[in-house]
């Protein structure tokens, strides 16, 4: 990657424990280019007002910015209509919205939903909470040693009681890119809608919800060079038109009167109660423009180079074992080193300015599948370099020497 490209990310100038920051925790949250930071600052400096509620100029500016950002998300995902784009705090809130609005309307005792063994807790826990209340069953699709879903088990899991499939597009632990388009087609053959957790996908590959034909697709801004606390949920209009609202409050109503049930606003507003994170949404839209301007060809070429280079270099570390080596995967390395706890790996690397993630990565069923408590995870993106991978490798070799 051209060094000038890295200049766009101000945090990369930081020194950590006397070393230049090497940031490899991108699956948890990505760093922000200056243009995203500027978009947020610009809102608070020149446009700060509540949206949709004021006739004054500043409110109209804020509303125009907010709705243009919605259109940016719609265009980025190639959704048919901006009415199908709901702003949420991120994938977690998006899935909770679905569990509440779809789940309470469509699930009952003896019904079934299908999830996968590699899901993030955000696409497990909301359904477990609801299942305890509504008494439906959760079927789980296993994955193999390489981190690939068992498609035969998936095909055989459908029944007349199946009401939903929930699957992550890209695993935050294994890096696996799941064949979601094919899985959606299979589900639709059974008349079953599909929710896709796209948290780890949009920063790495083009997502076209019409081509996928998914019913729901959730994204988080901070996983794609945008701010925290912002995200979007795409839902086919035919579903939104019949779902009850998730939250109640201001913004999402037409009329409220004591003694009567409220009437709700039109789509998408009936699902967006309260004052939204306008600054975050503006930053999110700018992050999507950044991805578009950079280009997926550039992103994928660079990340593929890092993935290939990282596989070769890291395997020279004595005792290192990868977890997740699917044929189709992103530049995520989950690993353990024999005889060294992942917390020790993370702490040692932090002392050298290298930021990685350690633990179960909000995916405890994945760890249970492998019989381990957690992993060390280095997740790379466009501002990472081969030289950083080399430094990571040499640092891990130094750590092994300390334990030998």
CATH number at residue 104: 3.40.640.10
Contact residues for 42 (Cβ-Cβ < 8 A; gap 6+): 282
Tell whether 19 and 142 lie within a shared domain. Answer: no
- In the chain, how many domains are there? 2
pLDDT band at 404 (very low <50, low <70, confident <90, very high): confident
Per-residue pLDDT, averaged over 70-79, amounts to 98
Distance CA(118)–CA(153), nearest Å, equals 14
Once rounded to an integer, what is the mean pLDDT over residues 293-298?
Answer: 97
How far from the centroid of its chain's Cα atoms is residue 75's Cα?
A: 18
- DSSP designation for 214: -
In the block, residue with structure tokens 């978009």:
39
What is the H or E stretch that residue 388 is in? helix 386-403
* Cβ–Cβ < 8 Å for 209, 79: yes
What's the DSSP call for residue 302?
H
Q: Tell me which residue range forms the domain holding 270.
A: 37-292
Residue 1 has pLDDT above 60, yes or no: no
CA 193 to chain centroid, in Å, comes to 20
- The model's pLDDT over 219-240, given as tens digits with 9 standing for 90+, comes to 999 999 999 999 999 999 999 9
pLDDT tens per residue across span 319-342 = 999 999 999 999 999 999 999 999
The 3-class SS string of 135-151 reads CCEEEEECECCCCCECH
Per-residue pLDDT, 296:
97
CA neighbor of 168 nearest in space, from 362, 380, 331: 362
Residue 2 has pLDDT above 80, yes or no: no
Percent pLDDT > 70 in the chain is 99
Same domain, yes or no, for 368 and 314?
A: yes
Quickly list DSSP for 220-284: EGGGTTS-TT-EEEEE-HHHHTTSPPSS-SSSSEEE--TTSPPEEPSTTGGG--S---HHHHHHH
pLDDT tens digits, one per residue of 136-171:
999 999 999 999 999 999 999 999 999 999 999 999
Q: Are residues 128 and 13 in the same domain?
A: no
Residue 3 reports pLDDT greater than 80: no
Whichever domain contains 334, its CATH number is 3.90.1150.10
Q: Residue 383: pLDDT band by 50, 70, 90 thresholds?
A: very high
172, 330 in Cβ contact below 8 A?
no
Confidence band, pLDDT 50/70/90 cuts, at residue 397: very high
- Give yes or no for a contact between 115 and 139, defined as CB atoms under 8 angstroms apart: yes
Last residue of a domain, one of 237, 267, 292: 292
Spatial neighbors of 24 by CB under 8 A, at least 6 apart, are 354, 355, 356, 378, 379, 380, 384, 388, 392
DSSP state at residue 44:
I
Token pair, residue 101, equals 């609005």
204 and 331, same domain (yes or no): no
Q: Is residue 147 located within the same domain as residue 275?
A: yes
Same domain as 258, residue 196: yes
Domain boundary among 243, 258, 292: 292
395 shares a domain with 274 = no
Same domain, 258 and 343: no
| Banded model confidence at residue 54, pLDDT cuts 50, 70, 90 | confident
- CA nearest to 166, candidates 100, 230, 107, 122: 122
The last residue of a domain, from among 292, 321, 344:
292
My answer on whether 240 and 333 are in the same domain is no
State whether 24 and 88 are in the same domain: no
3-state secondary structure of 182: helix
The residues that are catalytic are: 362
Please name which of 225, 155, 220 lies closest in space to residue 192, comparing C-alpha atoms: 155
Shared domain for 303 and 288, answered yes or no, is no
Let me know whether 122 and 138 are in one domain: yes
Mean pLDDT of 93-109: 97
- Does the pLDDT value for residue 378 go beyond 90? yes
* Residue from 180, 178, 201 nearest 324 by CA: 178
């Amino acid at each position: 990657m051209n060094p000038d490209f890295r200049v766009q990310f101000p945090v990369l100038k930081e020194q950590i424990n006397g070393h230049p920051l090497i940031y490899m925790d991108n699956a948890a949250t990505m760093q922000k280019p200056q243009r995203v930071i500027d978009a947020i600052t610009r809102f608070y400096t020149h446009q700060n007002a509540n949206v949709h509620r004021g006739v004054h100029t500043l409110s109209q500016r804020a509303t125009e910015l907010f709705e243009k950002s919605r259109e940016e998300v719609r265009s980025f995902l190639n959704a048919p209509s901006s009415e199908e784009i709901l702003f949420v705090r991120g994938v977690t809130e998006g899935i909770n919205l679905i569990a509440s609005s779809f789940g309470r309307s469509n699930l009952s005792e003896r019904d079934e939903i299908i999830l996968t063994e590699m899901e993030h807790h955000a696409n497990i826990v909301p359904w477990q909470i609801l299942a305890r209340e509504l008494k439906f069953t959760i079927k789980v699709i296993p994955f193999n040693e390489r981190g690939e879903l068992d498609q035969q088990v998936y095909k055989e899991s459908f029944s007349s009681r199946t009401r939903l499939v929930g699957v992550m597009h890209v695993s935050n632990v294994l890096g696996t890119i799941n064949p979601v388009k094919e899985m959606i087609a299979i589900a639709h053959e059974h008349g079953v809608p599909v929710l896709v957790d796209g948290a780890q996908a949009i920063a790495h590959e083009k997502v076209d919800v019409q081509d996928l034909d998914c019913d729901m697709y959730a994204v988080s801004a901070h996983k794609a060079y945008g701010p925290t606390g912002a995200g979007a949920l795409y839902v086919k209009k035919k579903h939104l038109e019949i779902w009850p609202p998730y939250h109640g409050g201001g913004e999402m109503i037409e009329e409220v009167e004591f003694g009567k049930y409220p009437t709700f606003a039109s789509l998408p507003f009936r699902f967006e109660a309260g004052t939204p994170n306008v600054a975050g949404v503006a930053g999110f839209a700018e992050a999507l423009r950044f991805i578009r301007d950079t280009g997926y060809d550039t992103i994928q070429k660079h990340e593929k180079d890092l993935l290939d280079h990282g596989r070769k270099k890291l395997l020279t570390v004595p005792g290192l074992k990868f977890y997740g080596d699917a044929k189709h995967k992103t530049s995520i390395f989950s690993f353990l080193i024999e005889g060294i706890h992942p917390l020790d790996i993370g702490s040692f690397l932090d002392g050298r300015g290298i930021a990685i993630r350690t633990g179960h990565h909000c995916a405890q069923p994945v760890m249970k599948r492998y019989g381990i408590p957690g992993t060390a995870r280095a997740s790379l993106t466009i501002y990472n370099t081969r030289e950083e991978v080399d430094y990571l490798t040499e640092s891990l070799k130094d750590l092994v020497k300390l334990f030998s």
